[in-house]
Amino acid sequence: MLHLRVIAPPDQSAAVADLLAADPGVTHLAVLAGAARQPQGDLILCDVVRESADSVLRDLRQLGVEARGAIAADDVELTISSAADRAARRAPGSGADAVVWDEIAAKTGEQTELSATYLVLITVATMLAGIGVLLDQPILIVGAMVVGPEFGPLAALCVALLRRKASIIVRSVQALVVGFLAAMVVTVLSTWALTAAGLVDRGMLLAERPLTDFIWRPDALSWVVGLLAGAAGMLSLTSKKSGSLVGVLISVTTVPAAANVAVAAAYGVWHEAAGSALQLVVNLCAIVLAGLVTLLVQQSWWWYLARRSPTGAGR
């Protein structure tokens, strides 16, 4: 369930309370007249099952509550209530599959910020993968995949494309392009530094690397893996099953491909750099395509449920 806190202007308070009371997925409704001070208005509290949360939030926004008031939502970890059980039974669909679009948009929108932390993480991940490439050590590659923060902007890009938010699309692409370019430049410099220190050499890149040479050899399976990872990643994000996201990060060759581009460029092995760059593009495109299709399917499914149960009753 979600716990909603709504500050409604006095002239909208009755309409908001009636709207919430009429929704079968809403329970534990309380109205505190005049309790809000900034902005001024009535404080309205309620719990709503996740299956109904998206439609409730959409209806509140259509009333224009956020213009002069406020809407806030928090996850409820534990609810012991027969009323809540009845609300869950009446709401269409399953709470485990429910998508709250405003929540997803807010969560992914935060991932588009080109912050210092994001740049450090993607740079460290790429440097780590670069060392893993030279040593032919999959464990380092896996570690780099987990550290890499690139799925955040990729998920934000999928959501923004679905909701047609041009500003978020631009910020997501900017975070990906700038992040990967900065990480690759630093990895080139670090490769030169490690070479000068005698810790690595060009021969390590040219040697047989049976455990990691897939990074610069894209094939049809690269598309398949990227598509599966994109679908699984979006499902883990929208269903709040974050544990699945770790597996997604480990399955796609994005950061390792960028690292191989940098290392190969540092040593002038251009055919390997080109193969790695193609691997990176293939994986990024596959993830975005699969993520967008997954969101479209989820949106269509919930629209179908809403049409079957326009009042939200019964399931």
Q: Is residue 46 part of a domain?
A: yes
Give the count of domains, the chain: 2
Q: Are residues 128 and 9 part of one domain? A: no
CA distance 77 to 1: 8
Q: Which residues of 85-95 are buried (b: 16+ CB within 10 A; e: fewer)?
A: eebbebbbbee
Token reading at 259 = 């690292």
CA distance 127 to 33: 57
- The residue assigned the tokens 């993607």 is 122
CA distance 177 to 45: 43
Please name the helix (run of DSSP H) or strand (run of DSSP E) that holds residue 182, with its range, or none: helix 166-196
pTM over 0.85: no
Token reading at 170 = 């631009």
CA distance 305 to 311: 10
Q: Are residues 192 and 247 part of one domain? A: yes
> 33-43 pLDDT, tens per residue?
999 999 999 99
CA distance 315 to 298: 18
Q: What is the mean pLDDT of residues 69-77?
A: 89
Q: Are residues 290 and 173 part of one domain? A: yes
pLDDT band for position 312 (50/70/90)?
very low
Q: Is residue 314 part of a domain?
A: no
Chain centre to alpha carbon of residue 144: 18
Of 45, 70, 91, which residue sits at a domain end?
A: 91
* 134 and 200 Cβ atoms separated by less than 8 Å: yes
Chain centre to alpha carbon of residue 195: 37
Q: What is the pLDDT of residue 51?
A: 82
Q: Are residues 297 and 174 part of one domain? A: yes
* 115 and 41 Cβ atoms separated by less than 8 Å: no
Of 65, 91, 117, which residue sits at a domain end?
A: 91
- Reading phi first (left if > 0) and then psi (alpha if -120 to 50, else beta), residue 205 is in alpha
Which of 36, 167, 50 has the alpha carbon at shortest distance from 113?
167
Burial of 62 (0-12, 13-18, 19+ CB in 10 A): exposed
* 264 and 270 Cβ atoms separated by less than 8 Å: yes
> 172-202 pLDDT, tens per residue?
999 999 999 999 999 999 999 999 999 999 9
Q: Is residue 311 part of a domain?
A: no
CATH number of the CATH domain containing 39: 3.30.70.260
Q: What is the pLDDT of residue 70?
A: 94
Q: Is residue 97 part of a domain?
A: no
Supply the range of the domain harboring residue 7: 2-91
Q: Are residues 282 and 237 part of one domain? A: yes
Of 51, 67, 91, which residue sits at a domain end?
A: 91
> 206-259 pLDDT, tens per residue?
998 888 888 888 888 889 988 988 888 888 887 765 554 555 555 567 999 999
H-state helical runs in the chain:
10-22, 50-62, 65-68, 82-90, 101-109, 116-135, 138-147, 151-163, 166-196, 202-206, 220-238, 243-251, 255-266, 270-308
Check pLDDT > 50 for residue 2. Answer: yes
> 12-23 pLDDT, tens per residue?
999 999 999 998
Q: Are residues 85 and 152 part of one domain? A: no
Q: Are residues 118 and 81 part of one domain? A: no
Per-state percent for the chain, helix, strand, coil, to nearest 5: 70, 10, 20
CA distance 232 to 241: 10
CA distance 223 to 166: 26
Q: Are residues 241 and 132 part of one domain? A: yes
What DSSP line would sit under 259-270, residue for residue? HHHHHHHHTT-H
